[in-house]
Structure 1
Amino acid sequence: MNSTHRQIAVIGGGLSGICSAYFLAAKGYQVAVIERRAHVAEEATFGDSGLLAPGAAMPLTLPGAMATFACRFQDEPRVLLAPGADFGRRRWMRQTRQAQQHEFAENKLRLSRLSAYGQGLTLQLQAHHNMEHENGNGVLHLFRQPAEAARMPHLQEAARQCEFKHQALDAAAIRTLEPAFSSEAKLAGALYYPDDMAGNCVLFAKQMRNAAQELGVSFHFDSTVRTLSADFGGRVSLLLESPHLASHMQVDAVVVAAGMSSARLLQPLDTVLPLRALQSYSALVPVKNPDDAPSMALYDDSYKVAMTRLGGRIRISGLLGFVPPSQTLPPKALRNLLKIAGDYYPNAANYNQAHFWSNTMALLPHGLPVLGPTRQGNVFVNVGHGATGWAATVGSARLLSDLMAGEEPEIPTDGLLPRDLLG
């Protein structure tokens, strides 16, 4: 145990912050989680797709994917764009394109390895704490366009290196595995990962909060960290707005796991993270005909949308938008989610009874999370996992706790550290 980090504040009560707190407390640290909302898992975690799927795990930055960002004028845009010039968005997209062209295969392998690690940890935690879950086995990764299916050799190579079971399928083979799959859906290719899973990420996050509290972690809600500053003597000061905490807190170390707020908090400490806010759109629909509903999860590569079965409900999530958060959800997003679900399972659910919501995610240009120490040695970061990042989030939290304790991580962290991103 690193004795200089006895008291640790974790900023953010999503899955990243909860799991970071849990693994740190398990190593004997005194940990407090500070969350601006009234409960855990109310922002990016609430919008998670539910995929627990190292095989299908993908950096957002795929070769050719940025063409989808030019779909503003289509009736069925794959990514929603706000009108007008946005030079920050253009710069972020250029960085993303560079990652696609030069680092896709390497980043895919890194994310698959991290997600496999996190999937194993998740199953261990569920078993150890006797957690309720809605896990289901098998994920279909679907490609509508030939240009998207052309990436399959990269994905299969990553699967081979990580020893994931996988199988390339045509539409007929998919229907053999999944009889409810619609014969009207036109596909250019598909990969099937039998050991990938899907479940209820929010349920897991809430139960992880209980497990963390049993280890002594304290949770402070309705509390916002305004600033971080490094003090003489190696401590960190937090300036807070909170109904039940003092306005000033001093700790030995801080973990910043606060989504888009992470960039604002870290910038004064000479750590500039190129995070970009994207909206993720989701729908929950009741199953109408169980025999026509999916028995396994699927991920539509073209629209970046996942469908997961949760008992008598189907969750459709992941459509992205470079648009400001709004109380009114864009009609195009809502139509798209239901269209995509209907393409594959038209008779499965009462789609006219869908419940919709939107969440903000913080993403990095290379499509990977970033974890570990910043230039300020006792300030750490754990952000950027994305809408399909459940497994990667759990894996990242464990790696972070090992780094903070001065222990050797169980898997390589290359490409995931802040210094790899910032240079």
Structure 2
Amino acid sequence: MNSTQRQIAIIGGGLSGICSAYFLAAKGYEVAVIERRAHVAEEATFGDAGLLAPGAAMPLTLPGAMATFACRFRDEPRVLLAPGADFGRRRWMRATRQAQHHHFAQNKLRLTRLSAYGQSLVLQLQAHHNLDNENGQGVFHLFRHPSEAARMTHLQQAAQECEFKHQALDAAGIRALEPAFSSEATLSGALYYPEDMAGNCVLFAKQMRNAAQELGVSFHFDSTVTAIDAEFGGRLALSVNSPHLASQMRVDAVVVAAGMSSAELLRPLDTALPLRAVQSYSALVPVKNPDDAPSMALYDDSYKVAMTRLGGRIRISGLLGFVPPGQTLPPKALRNLLKIAGDYYPNAANYNQAHFWSNTMALLPHGLPVVGPTRHGNVFVNVGHGATGWAASVGSARLLADLVSGDQTEIAAEGLLPRDVLA
């Protein structure tokens, strides 16, 4: 253990923050988690699609320029865009396309490795702590458009390099494995990952909070960190708005895992992460006909939508919204989620009884998370995992704990460190 960083504060009580706290406490650190909400896992983690799927894990990619522009005028848009000019959004989208064009294969391999590591850790933690789970086995990765299916070669190469089982399928091949599949959509390609999984990410996060508390981690809710200041001597002072914490906290190190708030906290420390706030939309529907409902999960690459079976419910999560968060969800998003689900399993659920919600995610242009030390050696970051980042979040948390302690990491951190993405 790094003896100069004994007391660590973690800002953010989502899955990344919870698991970072767990792994750091397991190494002997004194850890406190500071969360602005009343409970853990109430923001980006609550909107996670539930995929525990290294094979299907994808760096964020967006439609081409004309397709993105056209989204504004479609009844079934692939990306929701707010009206009006937004030059920051345009620059960010341009950066995502450059990453897709020049670095997709490399980024996919990095994300697959990180997610495979995280999936292994999840299974170990579930077994070690005897955690309840709703895990299901097998994930289909579907491509509607030829331009998206063209990336299948890179995906298969990443799976082969990481020794992940996979199989290219057509619609008939999917139905042979999943008889309930009844696609009304034209598919340009599909991959099947038998070792990918899906489950209840929020349940896992809440159980890991209990496991972290058993290791001595303290959780402080309804508390907001407004500033991080470096003090003479190397310690850090946190300014906190809280009904039960002092307005100033002094710690040896801090881990920023606070979604979009991370950028605001890090900017005064000369760490300008190019995070972008993106909305993700979800629906939970009751199963109507079990024989017509999926037993395995699927991920529609065109719309960035996942369908996962959770017992007697089906969760539909995805779409990207470059729109301000609001109390009223965009009708196009709600229609689109149910339309996509109906394309594949039209008789599975009572779609008219859907319960909807939306979440804000913090994403980076290259579509990967960022984890590790910033320019201030005792300020660390763990953010940017996205709506399908369950496995990556857990892998990043263990990677971060090793980086904090100075231990040898079990996987390479190259491409994931803050210095790799600093604006």
Identity of matched residues, % = 84
Name the residue aligned to 2:400: 400
1:321-371 superposed Cα distances (whole Å, 9 cap, x missing partner): 000000000000000000000000000000000000000000000000000
Look up the equivalent residue of 1:399 and give its one-letter code: L
Name the residue aligned to 2:196: 196
CA distance in 2, matches of 1:379, 1:68: 40
CA distance in 1, matches of 2:292, 2:190: 20
TM-score w.r.t. structure 1 length? Answer: 0.99
- Are the equivalent residues in 1 in contact too, given 2:271–2:374 (CA < 8 A)? yes
- 1:68 Cα shift? 4.6
Q: Look up the SS of the partner of 1:271 in the other structure.
A: coil
Name the residue aligned to 1:337: 337
- 1:67 Cα shift? 5.3
Structure 1 residues 103 and 385, CA gap change in structure 2 (3 angstroms): same
Name the residue aligned to 2:386: 386
1:122-147 superposed Cα distances (whole Å, 9 cap, x missing partner): 00000000000000000000011111
**Counterparts of 1:276-315 in structure 2 under 5 Å?**
276-315=276-315
1:219-276 superposed Cα distances (whole Å, 9 cap, x missing partner): 0000000111100111000000000000000000000000000000000000000000
Name the residue aligned to 2:180: 180
Structure 1 residues 243 and 405, CA gap change in structure 2 (3 angstroms): same
- 1:185 Cα shift? 2.9
Structure 1 residues 406 and 35, CA gap change in structure 2 (3 angstroms): same
Name the residue aligned to 2:122: 122
Name the residue aligned to 1:256: 256
Structure 1 residues 328 and 183, CA gap change in structure 2 (3 angstroms): closer
1:176-204 superposed Cα distances (whole Å, 9 cap, x missing partner): 00000014332111000000000000000
CA distance in 2, matches of 1:15, 1:67: 36
- Are the equivalent residues in 1 in contact too, given 2:183–2:345 (CA < 8 A)? no
CA distance in 1, matches of 2:258, 2:183: 43
CA distance in 2, matches of 1:187, 1:103: 25
- 1:61 Cα shift? 2.5
Name the residue aligned to 1:69: 68
Name the residue aligned to 1:45: 45
1:264-307 superposed Cα distances (whole Å, 9 cap, x missing partner): 00000000000000000000000000000001000000000000
- Are the equivalent residues in 2 in contact too, given 1:169–1:192 (CA < 8 A)? yes
- Are the equivalent residues in 2 in contact too, given 1:68–1:77 (CA < 8 A)? no
CA distance in 1, matches of 2:293, 2:78: 24
Name the residue aligned to 1:328: 328
- 1:65 Cα shift? 5.3
CA distance in 2, matches of 1:94, 1:347: 39
- 1:88 Cα shift? 0.7
Q: Look up the SS of the partner of 1:58 in the other structure.
A: coil
Q: Look up the SS of the partner of 1:278 in the other structure.
A: strand
- Are the equivalent residues in 2 in contact too, given 1:68–1:79 (CA < 8 A)? no
1:148-198 superposed Cα distances (whole Å, 9 cap, x missing partner): 111111111111111100000011111000000014332111000000000
**Counterparts of 1:12-411 in structure 2 under 5 Å?**
12-61=12-61, 64=63, 68-70=67-69, 71-411=71-411
CA distance in 1, matches of 2:156, 2:65: 22
Which moves more between the two structures, 152-161 or 250-259? 152-161
- 1:69 Cα shift? 2.6
Which moves more between the two structures, 105-114 or 142-151? 142-151
CA distance in 1, matches of 2:229, 2:95: 29
- 1:91 Cα shift? 1.1
TM-score w.r.t. structure 2 length? Answer: 0.99
CA distance in 2, matches of 1:325, 1:119: 31
Which moves more between the two structures, 98-107 or 266-275? 98-107
- Are the equivalent residues in 1 in contact too, given 2:183–2:343 (CA < 8 A)? no
Q: Look up the SS of the partner of 2:197 in the other structure.
A: strand
- 1:375 Cα shift? 0.3
CA distance in 2, matches of 1:66, 1:393: 30
- 1:99 Cα shift? 0.7
CA distance in 2, matches of 1:149, 1:238: 48
Which moves more between the two structures, 89-98 or 411-420? 89-98
Structure 1 residues 140 and 226, CA gap change in structure 2 (3 angstroms): same
Name the residue aligned to 2:413: 413
CA distance in 1, matches of 2:264, 2:406: 27
Q: Look up the SS of the partner of 1:69 in the other structure.
A: helix
Q: Look up the SS of the partner of 2:89 in the other structure.
A: helix
Name the residue aligned to 1:422: 422
* Structure 1 residue runs of 4 or more that deviate by more than 4 Å after TM superposition: 64-68
Q: Look up the SS of the partner of 1:211 in the other structure.
A: helix
CA distance in 1, matches of 2:259, 2:77: 25
CA distance in 2, matches of 1:8, 1:68: 45
CA distance in 2, matches of 1:99, 1:67: 18
Give the RMSD, CA atoms, in angstroms.
0.9
Q: Look up the SS of the partner of 1:283 in the other structure.
A: strand
- Are the equivalent residues in 1 in contact too, given 2:307–2:315 (CA < 8 A)? yes
- 1:66 Cα shift? 5.6
